[in-house]
Structure 1
Amino acid sequence: MSSKHLKDRVKLVAFDVDGTLTVEKSAWEYAHRKFGLWKGEGEKYLDMFLAGQISYAEFARLDALRWKGIPYDKLVKVLEEISYVNGAIESVEAIQRSGVEVALISCGLMPLVERIAKELDIKYYVGNELKVKNGYLTGEAKVNVSLDLDSISKGAYLKRLSKGLNITTRETAAVGDGIGDLDMFKVADISLLVNCTPDHKKIILESIKEVIELDCVSTVPHVLGFKGEREIADEF
């Protein structure tokens, strides 16, 4: 299908955050490393989850527990260090200029998701939260988006959001960078895979019939038929 036809159809574009819009593949891992808690701890919990030894909720609980007592402001400052990938801001803005809704659907940390939503004027977003008391992390997590629980998966959130906006899933596109976005890809009519590692790509291509592979997020507006800043400038 041509870009023009895609543009006429798409009313909502859902973006993953970590590794799709940002240079860091995981905000959780980035924070662990900054706190000196990755090797032997955060890394171990990730391996346990990937091996199927613990649930995603337990994975998040163990991660959050290691941060108990850390000032929340310290975490926020750490996450503020995470930058956008080239073209991320321009891509989102190009889509928004076309009157299409943009959403952020992430298993990452809510402070980062909220920051990006605020900076890019995105109304719809979701991420995973850490509980705070008197300015300090309590060591507890609130999982809003799960990788192994269908009712709060990325796909489930996209379905609920689409319904709330009176948009059919056939009018949605999803942009992500790995297997954590599979549920979202299965719901969205158009799946765009950016900056994906070969091992993740193999699994995704075996699971989804049609996936548009892109080298970088900056090409998303063009593929969907939305004009980027350069294309607008060329008209004058």
Structure 2
Amino acid sequence: MRGCGGLVAFDMDGTLVKLESSWLLIHRAMGTESDAKINAERYYCGQISYDEWAKLDVALWMGRDFTPALRAVEAVEPVSGAREALEALRSAGLAVGVISSGLDLVLRRLESLLGFRFDFAVTNELLLDGSTLVGWKVNVPFHSKGDVLLRVTRRLDVPLSEVAVVGDAENDLSMFRLPVGLRVAFNPTSPELEREADVVIRSESLLDVAEAILDWCEDDRT
């Protein structure tokens, strides 16, 4: 196969892992889901910023034994066909990475399970001292994935026309609305994202996503 070049930016929660939300996973494990729902409602109503939302959520866990959350993360599994799909894309010459407003703990779990190190990965971070949460860092605000992708493409010197994006939810819209080469909605939960997509794939396997990307890659270069 002739090398493709370019890059693929994946969402993580719901796209690469069988998980609705990294944040929700931890809230459930830590028994803070009810308080988290109140924080989310305040964000969606425009009462607080994303940084404030993250601060309020993390405050529910700060200084507490984080072991229940770490155990929950250890139960996270990748979607079917993830390893094979990612390796096929890399073998074709594409840089493969993650842009997620989810959490770095889940990213590390995913890379460990797959034995696959992403070429780039930008997530939000939780800072631990042993099994105690001591801080956090917001790298990907909820509606800012597009801005993050632009920074990644500039750093890697890849034109947007050679970028494929893969996601499933509302917070992937900012990536889909950039003039990228291919937009793949994978088992979309957002009708708006589905409308923005070039390709909609409903499947249990990420291999179907890889096939669509490789077809685009080859068609674009022939």
TM-score, with length taken from structure 1: 0.80
Q: Hey, what's the Cα distance between the residues in 1 that align with 2:176 and 2:3?
A: 20
User: Which residue is equivalent to 2:183?
Assistant: 191
User: Which residue is equivalent to 1:28?
Assistant: 23
Alignment CA distance shift 1:134-1:24 (3 Å)? closer
Instruction: List aligned pairs for 1:5-44, cutoff 5 A.
Output: 11-38=6-33, 40-44=34-38
Q: Hey, what's the Cα distance between the residues in 2 that align with 1:24 and 1:156?
A: 24
CA deviation after TM superposition for structure 1 residue 51, in Å: 2.3
Matching residue within 136, 139, 160 for 2:132: 136
Instruction: Say whether residues 1:99 and 2:86 are aligned partners.
Output: no
CA deviation after TM superposition for structure 1 residue 134, in Å: 5.8
User: Which residue is equivalent to 2:118?
Assistant: 122
Q: Hey, what's the Cα distance between the residues in 2 that align with 1:223 and 1:106?
A: 21
- Specify the code of the residue in structure 1 equivalent to 2:11: D
User: Which residue is equivalent to 1:55?
Assistant: 49
CA deviation after TM superposition for structure 1 residue 141, in Å: 2.5
Whether the aligned pair in 1 keeps the contact of 2:39 and 2:56 (CA below 8 Å) is yes
Matching residue within 39, 43, 62 for 1:45: 39
User: Which residue is equivalent to 2:166?
Assistant: 175
Counting helix residues as a fraction of each chain, which structure ranks higher? 1
User: Which residue is equivalent to 2:75?
Assistant: 81
Q: Hey, what's the Cα distance between the residues in 1 that align with 2:3 and 2:87?
A: 18
Secondary structure class of the residue paired with 2:107: helix
Alignment CA distance shift 1:74-1:137 (3 Å)? same
Alignment CA distance shift 1:116-1:134 (3 Å)? closer
Q: Hey, what's the Cα distance between the residues in 1 that align with 2:110 and 2:81?
A: 14
Whether the aligned pair in 1 keeps the contact of 2:81 and 2:207 (CA below 8 Å) is yes
Secondary structure class of the residue paired with 1:108: strand
- Specify the code of the residue in structure 2 equivalent to 1:215: R
Alignment CA distance shift 1:75-1:65 (3 Å)? same
Q: Percent identity?
A: 31
Length, aligned pairs only: 210
CA deviation after TM superposition for structure 1 residue 20, in Å: 0.4
User: Which residue is equivalent to 1:163?
Assistant: 154
Instruction: Say whether residues 1:68 and 2:62 are aligned partners.
Output: yes
Secondary structure class of the residue paired with 2:62: coil
Alignment CA distance shift 1:72-1:34 (3 Å)? closer
Alignment CA distance shift 1:104-1:77 (3 Å)? same
Instruction: Say whether residues 1:147 and 2:142 are aligned partners.
Output: yes
Q: Alignment RMSD, CA only?
A: 2.2
Alignment CA distance shift 1:218-1:134 (3 Å)? closer
CA deviation after TM superposition for structure 1 residue 76, in Å: 3.1
Structure 1: runs of 5+ lacking an equivalent: 227-236
- 1:9-43 deviations in Å (ceiling 9; x for gaps): 661000000000111110110111111211x2112
User: Which residue is equivalent to 2:202?
Assistant: 215
Whether the aligned pair in 2 keeps the contact of 1:117 and 1:123 (CA below 8 Å) is no
